[in-house]
Amino acid sequence: MSRSRKPAKDLSRREFVHVTAVASAALALPGAPALLGRADTLRIGLIGCGGRGTGAAKDCLTSSEREDTTGGLKAKIRVDDAHAFAGFDAYQKVIASKVDVVLLATPPAFRPRHLAAAIEAGKHVFMEKPVAVDPVGVRSVMASSDRAAQRGLAIVAGTQRRHDAGYQAAMQRIHNGAIGDIVAAQVYWNQGGLWMKPRQPDWSDVEWQIRNWLYFTWLSGDHIVEQHIHNIDVANWALGAHPVKAIGVGGRQWRTDPAYGHIYDHFAIDFEYPNGVHALSMCRQIDGTASRVAERLVGTRGTSDAHSVITGAAPWSWDAQTPRTNPYVQEHADLIASIRAGKPLNEGRQVAETTLSAIMGREAAYTGKEITWDELLNAEQDLVPADVKFGPMPVAPVAMPGQTVLARSWRSA
Amino acid sequence: MHIAGKISLLLLVQNAPPPPPNRDSIPGTLVRFETVPVPAGPVTVPTSRGPRSVAVGPFAIGRTEVTWDDYDVWAFRLDLTPQERSSGVDATARPSRPYGAPDRGFGHHGYPALAMTYFAAQAYCAWLSTKTGKRYRLPTDAEWTRAVLLGLGGDSALTPERRDALGWHAGNAAAKAHAVAAKAADALGLHDMLGNVAEWVTGMDSGRGGVVRGGSWVDRPEHVGPNARARQTPAWNETDPQFPKSRWWLADAPFVGFRIVREP
Tens digits of residue pLDDT in B226-248: 999 999 999 999 999 888 899 99
d(CA B62, CA A135): 55
Confidence (pLDDT) at A334: 95
Encoded amino acid at B246, one letter: S
pLDDT value at B119 more than 60 = yes
Report CA A319 to chain centroid distance, whole Å: 28
DSSP percent split of chain B into helix, strand, coil, nearest 5: 25, 20, 55
Q: Is B125 helix (H, G, I), strand (E, B) or coil?
A: helix
Q: Between these two residues, A7 and A359, which has the higher pLDDT value? A: A359
Is the minimum CB–CB distance between A292 and chain B shorter than 8 Å? yes
Chain B CA closest to residue A317: B175
Average pLDDT over residues A31-40: 40
Phi, psi (5° rounding) for residue A149? -60, -45
8 Å CB contact of B241 and A288 = no
Confidence (pLDDT) at A246: 98
The confidence band for B17, taking pLDDT boundaries of 50, 70 and 90, is: low
CB A229 within 8 A of CB A358: yes
pLDDT value at A30 more than 70 = no
Highest mean pLDDT among A29-33, A302-306, B15-19, B99-103: A302-306
Nearest partner of A214 among A158, A251, A250, A263, judged by Cα? A263
At residue A11's C-alpha, the angle toward residues A85 and B201, to 5°, is 135
Mean pLDDT of chain B: 90
Report CA A397 to chain centroid distance, whole Å: 26
Cα–Cα distances in angstroms (integers) from residue B215 to residues A240, B46, B200, B229, in the given order:
42, 17, 11, 7
Lowest mean pLDDT among A32-36, A314-318, B205-209: A32-36
Sheet holding A302-304, edge to edge: A316-317, A309-312, A302-304, A292-299, A182-191, A278-285, A266-272, A245-251, A371-372
Mean pLDDT of chain A: 88
Q: How are beta strands A155-157 and A182-191 bridged, if at all?
A: unpaired
Sign of the Cα torsion A132, A133, A138, A144 reads negative
Task: Go through chain A and tell me how many residues it has.
Answer: 413
Average pLDDT over residues A352-361: 98
The confidence band for A282, taking pLDDT boundaries of 50, 70 and 90, is: very high
The confidence band for A413, taking pLDDT boundaries of 50, 70 and 90, is: low
CB contacts, 8 Å: A326 with chain B: 238-239
Those residues with Cβ within 8 angstroms of residue A318's Cβ, 6 or more apart along the chain or in another chain: A166, A169, A170, A307, A308, A309
CB A355 within 8 A of CB A129: yes
Cα–Cα distances in angstroms (integers) from residue B44 to residues A56, B51, B137, B193, B215, in the given order:
46, 6, 21, 18, 19
- Among A1, A5, A52, select the one facing B238 at the smallest CB separation: A5
Confidence (pLDDT) at A208: 97
Confidence (pLDDT) at A321: 73
Distance from CA of A380 to the nearest CA of B (A): 33
Q: Is B223 helix (H, G, I), strand (E, B) or coil?
A: helix
The confidence band for A78, taking pLDDT boundaries of 50, 70 and 90, is: low
Average pLDDT over residues B106-123: 97
Is the minimum CB–CB distance between A294 and chain B shorter than 8 Å? yes
Question: What percentage of chain A reaches a pLDDT higher than 70?
Answer: 86
The confidence band for A26, taking pLDDT boundaries of 50, 70 and 90, is: very low
Encoded amino acid at A165, one letter: A
Distance from CA of A28 to the nearest CA of B (A): 21
- Among B97, B98, B238, select the one facing A326 at the smallest CB separation: B238
pLDDT value at A185 more than 80 = yes
8 Å CB contact of A292 and B255 = no
The confidence band for B2, taking pLDDT boundaries of 50, 70 and 90, is: low
- Among A54, A290, A292, select the one facing B243 at the smallest CB separation: A54
d(CA A349, CA A236): 12
Q: How are beta strands A182-191 and A278-285 bridged, if at all?
A: parallel
pLDDT value at B118 more than 60 = yes
Q: What is the interface size between A and B, counted as CB pairs within 8 Å?
A: 90
8 Å CB contact of B239 and A198 = no
d(CA A169, CA A384): 38
Is the minimum CB–CB distance between A258 and chain B shorter than 8 Å? no
Beta strands in chain B (DSSP E): 22-25, 32-38, 41-45, 52-56, 59-62, 136-137, 198-201, 211-213, 229-230, 256-257, 261-262
Is the minimum CB–CB distance between A257 and chain B shorter than 8 Å? yes
Cα–Cα distances in angstroms (integers) from residue A8 to residues A44, A50, A72, A137, A225, in the given order:
18, 19, 10, 35, 30
Confidence (pLDDT) at A260: 96
- Among B78, B97, B235, select the one facing A194 at the smallest CB separation: B97
pLDDT digits over A242-257, tens only? 999 999 999 999 999 9
Residue environment code for B40-66, b if the CB has 16+ CB neighbours within 10 A, otherwise e: eeebeeeeeeeeeeeebeebbbbbbbb
Contacts 24+ apart (CB under 8 A), A305-312: A305/A170, A306/A167, A306/A170, A306/A171, A306/A174, A306/A234, A306/A238, A307/A161, A307/A164, A307/A166, A307/A167, A307/A170, A308/A166, A308/A170, A309/A170, A310/A170, A310/A173, A310/A174, A310/A178, A310/A179, A312/A178, A312/A179, A312/A180
Is-above-0.95 flag for pTM? no
The confidence band for B131, taking pLDDT boundaries of 50, 70 and 90, is: very high
The ipTM value here is: 0.80
8 Å CB contact of B240 and A326 = no
Burial class (CB in 10 A: 0-12, 13-18, 19+), A377: middle
Confidence (pLDDT) at B206: 55
pLDDT digits over B42-89, tens only? 999 888 888 999 999 999 999 999 999 999 999 988 888 877 776 766
pLDDT value at A217 more than 70 = yes
